[in-house]
Each structure stands twice: as structure tokens, then as C-alpha cells.
Amino acid sequence: MNSIRSIQGIGPRSPLEGQQVDTEGIVTAVDDKGFYLQEPVADLNQGGPAVYVFTGRRPTVNPGDDVAVSGKVVEFVRPNEREEFSDAPTTQLEAKDPAALVVRSSGNPVPSITIGKGGVQLSKTASNSDLWEKLESARVKIDSPVITNAPNDIPRYADLYALPNDGEGVEGRTKAGGVIRNAAGNPDAIPMRMPTEGLPAVNVGTKFKGALEGNVVQRHGHHQVTVWDVDPGKMIESPIKPGITTLREKFPDPTHVLFVASLNGENKDVKIEDVNKVAQRNQHNVDDDVGSGQLERMCQRIIENMGTPDIVAMQEIQDNDGGEISEEVDANLTWDAIVDQIVALGGPRYKWVDRPPENNKEGGMPGGNIRTGFLYNPDRVTLDEASVYRLADPAFDGSRKPLVATFGFTHGGVTEKVTLASVHNKSKRSGGEAAEAARDAQGTAINRWAMEHAPKGANEHIGVFGDRNAYTDEQSVKNEEVGGALTMLSRQLPETERYSTQFGGSSGELDHAAVKTSVPVAIDLVHVNADFDERFRSGDHDPTCTAWDFRRGQA
């Protein structure tokens, strides 16, 4: 009889791969294709204590059954798994013959391994990949979990991250209950997949009484805990509410103050796409931003939460037919819908400006032709139409090109000339090191632009706003500041407030505001999206709000 730990071994592949073996253990969970088998007592130093038994159909066993089983050791890679994940298979026991399975007793205690206080400790500073490999297929328990990310795409389940023991001992906690990304990426956050049917909003800071239990599985090259069921009665909803900028309160008289903000629109458009016209005819490329209320919610955020800025640098605005593959590149219908919706909600009638991208050559959703642009309030600022252009530096080839525009802000008989760039750098989701190198080059290009357009007088100012797809400590962001060309404003804020997105259970700042000016500029990162369940937000990035104080000693 082979022990499960001898089958799993201590590495990513079984030392018994391809061999026929006999083993035994306690059933900890059952699904439609097999069951999870675990040794009653775990010793991770000797190997993984659990294995998934693939039967090809739902087996006639239950959690707590003591079983003996015969099967072939295989290393399983999910169908259609991306190539880069194929070297991270799951060790399984293939036992399709019902005669290979014998239930010896039932009703036994279901073994589980506690992660956190009193159990297995995850490193806070280094990868836990070796530990997760040993825990593969094991039943684990997370005591007093607190959720540190907000879920996406949740018709039935959500991919979440949790800190055990209510986050005890974890540094960098945000007011919402999340955790600021550290250099190691917060590897002590536990990845989970959890059913959400019947649950209210699962926002950052959501807690659960007692423990959540599940089995460790591998998806897309990463381990996560599949939580099989959740008792809604044990869920403690997060008390957080969408943030409201403090800048209007700080500067109640706007006469000498210019309010500039930035917002990623997350692929907003006005078209319900025809599935036959989108890439790969994939239903995920079809949405209804108007009917779903997403566009209205975004406009509401601009008015109520962002304080109706004078200028909004926008990113990810799609063309008139959204994700449909066509020759369409104009986005006038999308912009007009945003403007009209803001007016309908009681806001000012903004004007907008963009320059259409090259069709399907600048990244983003195929057919969507996302672009950067500006909303601006003509009652507060004037646009120099001749100043508008797309920054055509080679660093932005194949990516969104920044839109540059100069606005005039007149106060007390003085006109300030404010030149802004709305940027959306190379995506973090594709390209790995190549994408990082591209962003580094884009940061250098922005720095070069800022040097060339440095203010030449007290009434000239420049600013770069938008989604850099890079954290503050990454080289591409640092490149922008070389030689004092620009200053990142968020350094004014406490570290636990510096975030605009959620990734991997961590809160991080991908959206930045950098300026070169002789006047003080205050900043406020308004948390209305990153901390919130997808069902209750308007996008996946928080807006950046700033106030340019042109009082120059005036009361």
C-alpha cells in the first residue's frame, strides 16, 4: 500500500508518475468527476498528504468515508490551459473502474489543515509556491477570514483572497480592510474560489464568522482554495461606502482653484454588440453598458464622488459599435451619451475631445478601439483646439497613444495655461517582460515629452494623468520623474491610501497623476470601484482627483 505522501512527493511531479498504485485515506470532498482523498494526519515535510482521485463520473462516496483505491498516477493539465502553465500539472490518481474503490467505513472525522494561527504559516515576503504544492488537493481551513479583494465576473462564484485570523499581524491594511501591495505581492493572502449565489455584496473587508473550508486546486498555474459552500448567515458584510473627494470641502471657493481628475472608463460604449460580429463570437465580448446601468453609475461617480471636476482625463472609451469588428473608429456616440447622462443627473454639460486611434492597432478589446480623451466643463475652462494631438512616440506603437491638450483657466483676470496628457500605457495582462520593457520605454517617452514642454513661466503648467499599468515602485513610473521633469502627487498621501486597483488580493496604485508646476496641487484617490463587488461599481479603477491652487497667497 502506497501512502498518499509517497504518491505526491515533495515536488511538482509525482515520483510514481505513470505507475499503478494502491493507496488509502479519508474522503474530504466529492465533485462530478471524482473525489479528494487525504491522510488523517499530515506531515508536510514528507510530502503532500492529499490527492485527487479521478473517476470520470460522480463517485458513490461521501466526505468522511475511509476508502482504499487502486489507480494510475497521472499528471493532469487542464484542457486549453495556456502553454506557460503546462509545467505546473496536478498529481491525480486515475481510477475509473468502480471495482478499484472500496469503502471501509463511513462517518469518520474529515481531516483538514489550518492555514494561519495554530497551523501552517504562509510567508509574508517570499513565494509560497512550494508550500501550496504540498497542500495540493488537501482540505484546508481558514479561521476568521477577511476578504482583501473585490470579485469580478460572478454569476455563480468569485475568485477571492483572504487573510486568516482577521488579518492579525498583517501590515499595510487599508481603511476598507484590504492590504497594500508589498514588494513580494503579499503572498500571505490566501486565494479562494467561492460560490456567491444568495450572498449580498462581497466587498473588501467582508468577514466570515468561524472558518471557511475547502480543497486546494490548481487553475491557470496558481493554487487556490475551492470553498464548496458558504453559509450566508456567517457572512459579515463590509461597512464600506463609496468614497467622496475631500477636495471640494478643502477648497470651497473654486474661483482660483482648478479641479482636474482622471478616470478609466473600463471599455464603456453605447452598443449592445452582435455576438456574430465580435472576436471569436465570444459572448464575453458582448455587454450593455447603458441597460446595465454601468454608464449611468460612472456618470454619477463623476458628479457625486469626484466632485464634478473641471477636466477629466479619460481612458478606455470604446468606439460607437463597441467590441464589434468593423471599420468604425469614431466614439462620438459614446462621448455624447456620457455627456447627456451627466446632464440628466444634474451635472454640467461637459464637452469632450479625442483623436480616434488606428483601427484595431492600439490594443484593448478587439474591435473596441479604446482611446484616451478629455471631458471638460466649458463654463470653467477653454480648450485650445490647435493644441490637441496624440503623442506619436515609437514607444506607444501598438498601444494607446496619449492625448495631449492645453486648457485655459481664467481667474481674477489671470489665465493659466495647463497642458495635460491623458495616458493609458501597455497592459499588465499580456506580454510579461516584453510588456514591462514597453512600459519602461513609455515612461521614458513621457519624461522626454515633459522635458520638452516644461513650463516657461509662472502661468504655464503641465500634468500627466491616467492608467500607467505600473505600480509606483516600478521602473516605468520612476522614469517619468527623471531629472525633475515631473512629480508624482500621490506621495503626499499615507501609504495605505495609495491604491486605485485590486490584483492578487492586494491594493495597488496603477493610476497616477504627475505634474510640473509652480503652484501647490492637492490629490485625492477616491475609492469607489477597487474595493467593491463588480455588481456595485462602475469600473475596475478608482479615479484620481486633484486641485490646482492658483490663489498665490490670496485669501
Query: Alpha carbon of 541 to those of 54, 415, 422, 508: distances in Å?
Result: 41, 32, 15, 10
Q: Which whole number is the average pLDDT over 515-522?
A: 98
Contact 44, 134 (CB under 8 A): yes
Distance CA 149, CA 132 (A): 20
Q: What burial class does residue 90 get, using C-beta atoms within 10 Å of its C-beta: 0-12 exposed, 13-18 middle, 19+ buried? A: buried
pLDDT tens for each residue of 163-183: 999 999 999 999 999 999 987
Distance CA 462, CA 417 (A): 8
Give all strands (DSSP E) within 164-254, no chain letters: 190-195, 207-208, 211-219, 222-227, 235-236
pLDDT at position 534: 86
pLDDT tens for each residue of 200-236: 889 999 999 999 999 999 887 789 999 999 999 999 9
Q: How confident is the model at residue 84 (pLDDT cuts 50, 70, 90)?
A: low
pLDDT at position 405: 99
Q: Which whole number is the average pLDDT over 84-111?
A: 89
Write the DSSP assignment of 230-277 as a string of letters: --GGGEE---------SHHHH---GGGEEEEEEEEEEEE-S----GGG
What number of residues does the chain have?
555
Distance CA 388, CA 405 (A): 4
Q: Which residue did the predictor score with more confidence, 465 or 183?
A: 465
Q: How confident is the model at residue 153 (pLDDT cuts 50, 70, 90)?
A: low
pLDDT tens for each residue of 475-509: 999 999 999 999 999 999 999 999 999 998 999 99
Three cell numbers written together for 277: 460580429
Q: Which whole number is the average pLDDT over 368-393?
A: 98
DSSP tag of 188? T
The percentage of the chain sitting over the pLDDT mark of 70, rounded to a whole number, equals: 97
412-447 burial string, b = 16+ CB within 10 Å, else e? eeeebbbbbbbbbbbbbeeeeeebbebbbbbbbbbb
| Confidence check: pLDDT of 533 > 70 | yes
Distance CA 146, CA 244 (A): 24
pLDDT tens for each residue of 120-146: 999 888 889 889 999 999 999 999 999
Distance CA 442, CA 395 (A): 5
Domains of the chain: 4-105 (2.40.50.140), 116-236 (2.40.50.140), 247-549 (3.60.10.10)
Residue 505's closest CA among 123, 160, 152? 160
Residue 16's closest CA among 55, 42, 40, 51? 51
Contact 299, 338 (CB under 8 A): yes
pLDDT at position 512: 99
How far, in whole angstroms, is CA 475 from its chain's centroid?
Answer: 20
DSSP tag of 81? -
Distance CA 548, CA 545 (A): 10
Bridge partners of residue 417, in order along the sequence: 408, 460
Query: Alpha carbon of 549 to those of 21, 221, 256, 334, 350: distances in Å?
Result: 74, 49, 7, 32, 22
pLDDT at position 86: 52
Place of cell 504562509: 122
Q: At a CB cut-off of 8 Å and minimum separation 6, what does 17 contact? A: 73, 74, 75, 91
Distance CA 166, CA 248 (A): 35
Q: Specify the pTM.
A: 0.93
| Confidence check: pLDDT of 74 > 50 | yes
Distance CA 331, CA 325 (A): 14
pLDDT at position 421: 99
pLDDT at position 154: 61
Q: How confident is the model at residue 83 (pLDDT cuts 50, 70, 90)?
A: very low
For the chain, how many helices (H) and strands (E)?
Answer: 7, 29
Q: How many CB atoms lie within 10 A of CB 299?
A: 23
311-317 and 257-268 strand pairing? parallel
Q: How many CB atoms lie within 10 A of CB 468?
A: 27
